[in-house]
């Protein structure tokens, strides 16, 4: 039977593995989000902060996670963008352009 110290070490190792996996997923998501942000900056054109706000806006209006919106946008270079995201992206770009005109 493992000692209390061994059990504590095993729990700590499990926790560290879980955190490591979460950080890896976050880094992957961040790379895709940054790629999508760059695409929006080229499409709009707008600043990095405005591109971020636009992606967040589309994500919230579609009720789709930001990383999934970003992945769909990046994938559109080879695939068609899903209709809800395409529609909200057009709307968000219009709002962005209207705000810039003020």
Predicted confidence (pLDDT) per residue in 36-75, tens digit? 999 999 888 899 999 999 999 999 999 999 999 999 999 8
Q: Which residues contact 21 (CB under 8 A, 6 or more apart)?
A: none
Instruction: Report the pLDDT value the prediction gives residue 6, as an integer from 0 to 100.
Output: 79
CB atoms near residue 69 (< 10 Å): 27
- The count of C-alpha atoms lying within 13 angstroms of the C-alpha of 44, restricted to the half-sphere facing its C-beta, is 28
More confident: 72 or 23: 72
Instruction: Report the pLDDT value the prediction gives residue 50, as an integer from 0 to 100.
Output: 94
CB atoms near residue 73 (< 10 Å): 24
Instruction: Report the pLDDT value the prediction gives residue 25, as an integer from 0 to 100.
Output: 80
Mean residue pLDDT of the chain comes to 88
Tokens of 82: 């899903």
Instruction: Report the pLDDT value the prediction gives residue 58, as an integer from 0 to 100.
Output: 95
Q: How much is the pTM?
A: 0.64
The candidate with the shortest Cα–Cα distance to 77, out of 38, 26, 44, 47, is 38
């Amino acid at each position: 039977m493992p000692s209390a110290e061994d059990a504590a070490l095993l729990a700590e190792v499990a926790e560290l593995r879980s955190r490591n996996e979460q950080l890896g997923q976050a880094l992957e998501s961040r790379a895709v989000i940054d790629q999508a942000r760059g695409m929006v900056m080229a499409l709009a054109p707008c600043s990095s902060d405005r591109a971020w706000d636009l992606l967040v806006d589309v994500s919230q209006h579609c009720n789709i996670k930001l990383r999934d919106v970003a992945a769909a946008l990046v994938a559109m270079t080879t695939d068609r963008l899903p209709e809800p995201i395409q529609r909200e992206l057009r709307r968000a770009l219009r709002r962005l352009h209207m705000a810039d005109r003020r």
